Amino acid sequence: MPRHAVQPGGGARTQPAVSRILAFANVRLIDPATKLDSMGELVVADGLIADFGQNILPQQPPSHMTVVDGGGQVLAPALVDMRVQLREPGEEHKENMESGGAAAVAGGIGTMVQLPNTSPIIDDVSLVQFIERRSRTIGLADIRVYGAATKSLSGNELTEMGLMSEAGAVGFTDGERTIANALVMRRALSYAKTFGQLIVQHAEEPSLGTEAGMNEGEIATRLGVPGIPAAAEVIMIERDLRLVELTGGRYHAAHVSTAAAIEAIRQAKRRGLDVSCDTAPPYFALNETAVGDYRTFAKLSPPLRSEWDRRAVVEGLADGTIDAIASDHAPHDQDSKRLPFAQAAAGIIGLETLLPLTLELVHNKHLGLGQALAKLTCNPALRLGLAKGRLGRGASADLVLIDPDRPHRIDVAGFKSKSKNSPFDGRPTEGMALATLVGGRVVHAASGAPTALRELAASR
């Protein structure tokens, strides 16, 4: 333990003030953006990262510095979640920005990007500005927003992307709806390109999709549920890739779930196209058998796929074809889920399980820790053009303290999210966020966090 650090479990000597300096000692600093992985120290002042490295703290810390012994745990950039639904405005009984923000920081997420499929739909400047104001007022995770690619998510007329970009939109998408019309997608890619913006696609050929929400195959046949073929995903992605070649646009495929789609993106990257993709934990942690006997909590869009596809997702993560892992947080209340399978809403919550489920890939030796954290931090930030997801002197102190080995059992009842629709309830995991800082403020500290951080979180 460093000579000047407080004892493990010891608290801050005095109640901190805004002008106080917070320092972490005895932490494993990991910054995937720069390949940093070493023991060291980090100093936070005025909400910014003032310095980090080895032996940077004074022999005798000044009275206005609170030094926290990190106990050798990982200190990394706070996570950047590039795909969430927060239901505000319109369905606040399922989730709102405050409960979603609390769930995010409990999961180690410092920045998240909200889909535009709210009510009203985020397809004009005023709603982009509303989200930004609400995020600042709540003061938890930094909430950014995608603008709708088409007005009212109709798939027809493009929105005013330029104005929404100026207002803060970080990309454009029709959320859970596919931009199915090829001419509209071509125009969207061309138009967004003029602002350097990304088009994010929910890739599913609509004519092959159904409301059933099951993968087409033996299990769907046995249950008597109409299935969605894996080909529905790759058909749409291959069409879109042709349009990217035609326009030179920036394209991102959301929550890819099939081997064929991943291979198409792999080949597109080799051809030099400006293409990226993400997946979500259910697509590498579960397969279609999780549906069991019509288990609606395992109903997603795209649906859980075959074991073959699940393994392809893991391989795509390992070889870098899949750039990012997003929570794909989709809160639903009991009334929306406790229905016959075909009528139940698709989607699960994910903010508080994103990190522990991703760490399963590390414990199973599929990814290194730095590689896994890259998909949760710098990779999504870089793709979205956000100055987040990396350690930098003078950067906003958005940080997460992680115990990567702490055994834990997922307990949905204790989640901060208003909705509890998760198929992972009761699943044993290893690794969790001990504390989260956003703009230098301790906005979450779990029961296992150092006492000083818990005191700072309580005094927030």
Q: Which residues are catalytic?
A: 328
Pair 116, 161: CB distance under 8 Å: no
Distance from C-alpha of 214 to C-alpha of 276, rounded to nearest angstrom: 25
| Strand pairing report for 48-53 and 36-45 | antiparallel
Distance from C-alpha of 185 to C-alpha of 187, rounded to nearest angstrom: 5
* CA nearest neighbour of 432 among 398, 399, 400, 404: 404
The values of phi and psi at residue 329, to 5°, are -60, 120
- Kindly report the CA angle at 286 between 314 and 208, in degrees rounded to 5? 90
The values of phi and psi at residue 334, to 5°, are -60, -40
Distance from C-alpha of 379 to C-alpha of 358, rounded to nearest angstrom: 15
Place of tokens 């249950």: 223
Q: What element of type H or E holds 454?
A: helix 451-458
Neighbours of 31 (CB within 10 A): 22
| Strand pairing report for 21-31 and 36-45 | antiparallel
Answer whether the bond into residue 303 is a cis peptide, omega within 30°: no
Pair 74, 391: CB distance under 8 Å: no
Pair 313, 281: CB distance under 8 Å: no
